[in-house]
Amino acid sequence: MKLFDVYPLNDITITKAQGSYVWDENGAQYLDLYGGHAVISIGHTHPHWVQRIEEQLNKIAFYSNSVHIPIQQELADKLGKISGKEEYQLFLVNSGAEANENALKLASFHTGKKKIVAFSKAFHGRTSLAVAATDNKNIVAPVNETSNIDFLPFNDEAALKQYFQTNGHNVAAVIVEAIQGVGGINVASESFLKLIRNLCDTNDALLIADEVQCGYGRSGKFFALDCAGINADIYTMAKGMGNGFPIGGILIAPYIKAKHGMLGTTFGGNHLACAAALAVLEVIEKDNLIEMSKQRGMYLINKLKSIDGIDNVRGKGLMVGFDVPEDIKDLRKKLLNDFFIFTGEAKPNVIRLLPALNITRKQVDEFLDTLNEAIEEMKTPAPKGVEENAY
């Protein structure tokens, strides 16, 4: 049987991982500045994370949500404490798309309304409503198309005000990434986010903060929305939540009431997933990783801004992006193939950096030195008679 060919693959097979490094089948070591789409939050195969999962596996790995699962409440208590959202409610799922799907559905249940406001370059997942709210027509199947999603320009306060003047009474929710990931590390302004909060309040709509990629300490705050000093009605989480073990969730404000049967999931909140997620929060708390993310990110961003050859460095914490000029458009490929460094991308010409929150200063410097070397090589003409890229 063939695998369904939907992923463009690098010709690399990773067989071992530890901290911010991975190794391929030939023993070559790579520095990981991407963490598999911002998933690796406390470093690959962190020993406390491994221990937590092993201990849980020796007790029970799974039973359905038809019985009491005390480790779910343990996770909720720890998550409430570290996020500062102790009064919120937790619903556990398996992925970011599932988190956003349930958040959008819950907003419609709560308000009795249908319209969802999303933004240009948004990415919220690949399931039915989540993909309809994603600004990429290439991944929206005809069955996903709906008139219930309206897209507005990101960070455009005038357009947002104008839309609500006409349509505010129909809006169930506004869904926004405080820092867009797939869209290219686009940071929402504090005034834009505060305006969304105000318009939702005055129009009986909910604010959904998609924190799937930008949350869980990556921005230097627990949630990126915290940087604007406001609260969402629903927060969605996933990528960094389990450090590679599949888990997602939504935090739900206390005034949104639950009803038996309104949401459901088979595997969400299983024992192993909760053990992995608890390990992540315990390491974040013990090692002060949110503050570390803030400090490492400031250092990385400031150093990147001093590098000639790249443009428009932006981001917060350890969610960083920069534009790659056309003359070195293959910089990401060169970093991977010639210098053994994993980074991410956003179309058409953005490199995304999403390392583990506990990446060391030495590893950041290793990346910066290598980046400078790669850019210099790409900008230096090959000697006469020597083929380009013949290293």
- What pLDDT score was predicted for residue 385? 58
Q: Is the pLDDT of residue 243 over 90?
A: yes
Question: What is the pLDDT confidence band of residue 379, given thresholds at 50, 70 and 90?
Answer: confident
Kindly write down the DSSP assignment for every residue of 225-264, as one continuous string. Answer: GGGGT---SEEEE-GGGSTTS--EEEEE-TTS---TTSS-
- What pLDDT score was predicted for residue 388? 47
- What pLDDT score was predicted for residue 380? 80
Residues 145, 94, 259, 232: is their CA dihedral positive or negative?
negative
Question: What is the pLDDT confidence band of residue 384, given thresholds at 50, 70 and 90?
Answer: low
pLDDT tens for residues 53-92?
999 999 999 999 999 999 999 999 999 999 999 999 999 9
Beta carbons of 193 and 230 less than 8 angstroms apart: yes
- What pLDDT score was predicted for residue 390? 43
pTM of the model: 0.96
Residues 267, 269, 275, 277: is their CA dihedral positive or negative?
positive
**CA dist., res. 389 & res. 369, Å (int):** 20
For the segment 211-220, the average pLDDT, to the nearest whole number, is 98
For the segment 212-231, the average pLDDT, to the nearest whole number, is 98
Q: Is the pLDDT of residue 391 over 70?
A: no
Beta carbons of 155 and 189 less than 8 angstroms apart: yes
pLDDT tens for residues 248-263?
999 999 999 999 999 9
**CA dist., res. 283 & res. 275, Å (int):** 12
Angle (nearest 5°) at CA 254 between 248 and 260: 70
Write down all domains in the chain, each with its CATH number in brackets. Answer: 14-45+289-379 (3.90.1150.10), 47-286 (3.40.640.10)
Chain-wide mean pLDDT for the chain?
Answer: 96
Beta carbons of 181 and 149 less than 8 angstroms apart: no
